[in-house]
Amino acid sequence: MASCVVSFVDSEGIGHTVEVQAESLFEAAARAMRTFKQHGCEPGPITRLDVEIRSAVIHTVTPKKVQQWLSGGAKTPKEAVIKQRLRELMT
């Protein structure tokens, strides 16, 4: 698990940031989206999420892309388990 900082700027220009523990880019995005939703500041489907892994690497993904990845097939049994766990997390 790595410490990840996920942030986005909403339509009013307000920035939102949360720190999550995750094993992958999509897990970090999914956990952050859940937290943002719980706090009433859910990003839109094409909002750019900046995901910073505390190793100083920053990845960008949209909630739409996360949903597409979660809805797609799994390449390995391990990936299938991860996707199922993250889909449950998102509900």
Sites in the chain below the pLDDT cut of 70: 56
Q: Give the pLDDT score at 36.
A: 98
What is the percent of the chain with per-residue pLDDT over 70, rounded to a whole number?
A: 99
Model-wide pTM > 0.75: no
Q: Which residues, in sequence order, are CB contacts of 4 under 8 Å at separation 6+?
A: 19, 20, 21, 22, 28, 32, 51, 52, 53, 54
In whole angstroms, give the CA distance from residue 84 to residue 76: 12
Rounded to 5 degrees, what are φ and ψ at 88?
A: -65, -40
pLDDT for 56: 65
Question: Of 62, 73, 75, whose CA–CA distance to 29 is shortest?
Answer: 62
Per-residue tokens: 59:
């990845």
